[in-house]
Amino acid sequence: MAARAPVIPFRPRPTKKKLVSDAVLGMILFVFVEIMLFAGFISAFVIIKARAVGSVWPPPNQPRLPFAETAVNTTALIASGIVLLIAHRMFLKGRGLGGGPAELGAGQAGSRGGRMPPHGSSGGVLAGFGGLLSRPVGRLLVAATLLGGMFVGLQGVEWLALIREGLTITSSTYGALFYTIIGAHAAHAVAAILALAWAAVRLRRGTLTRDALSAVAIFWYFVVLVWPFLYFVVYL
């Protein structure tokens, strides 16, 4: 009788843990492309400014940009970035989610990029906006969003004043550059604010993941960090 061949047990190949999630990696690549975009904007502005006739900048009959007044906008935006950084770190550590089992579960589910456990309450009170504000992370996330909205709102007021003074996108190269560069940043800021609001809604529902918040935070950090370069290059 022939000897039975040895049975070799099947051992599945161990899966490698991703260093960076797909969402975070995608956002990093997107931000890298946007950095190149704004680097091109800044380079074009500096070159055109250096070639201004008679080194006069801004051109005659064009208003100077409100550097001092825009410092308020800048402060609000930087404060928003700092507040989000604190909220982001707390969320990654599973803290500030309301206490108790939810925080303990956050530290476990978050490491896998899974959903955070919903923060339940009798009567469904925490299902509303008040439930979001009852969590330290929620309050910080809302504060970061409102500060970002304050930045965009003040920028809008500034633009209206400049338009009344005669600075439009067609009034001069100076105006075209200003509205193109600062307008592009404002568009990114609005998109990032909407992303922050989306993250706040997900947090309220208990479905916000670490990967999702990290991707949104990276986008907002980009909006915050690129602004000082635009502020000192374009407004001075």
| C-beta atoms surrounding 131 within 10 Å | 21
- Alpha-carbon span 22 to 106, nearest angstrom: 20
List the helix and strand counts (H, then E) for the chain.
7, 0
53-59 mean pLDDT? 78
Global model pTM greater than 0.85: no
- Predicted pLDDT at 5: 63
- DSSP state letter for 193: H
- 114: region left, alpha or beta (phi > 0 left; psi from -120 to 50 alpha): beta
Q: Which amino acid is at 61?
A: N
- Alpha-carbon span 154 to 223, nearest angstrom: 16
Which domains are seen in the chain, by residue range?
22-234 (1.20.120.80)
- DSSP state letter for 51: T
**pLDDT-derived band of residue 16, with 50, 70 and 90 as boundaries?**
low
- Predicted pLDDT at 85: 96
- Predicted pLDDT at 115: 52
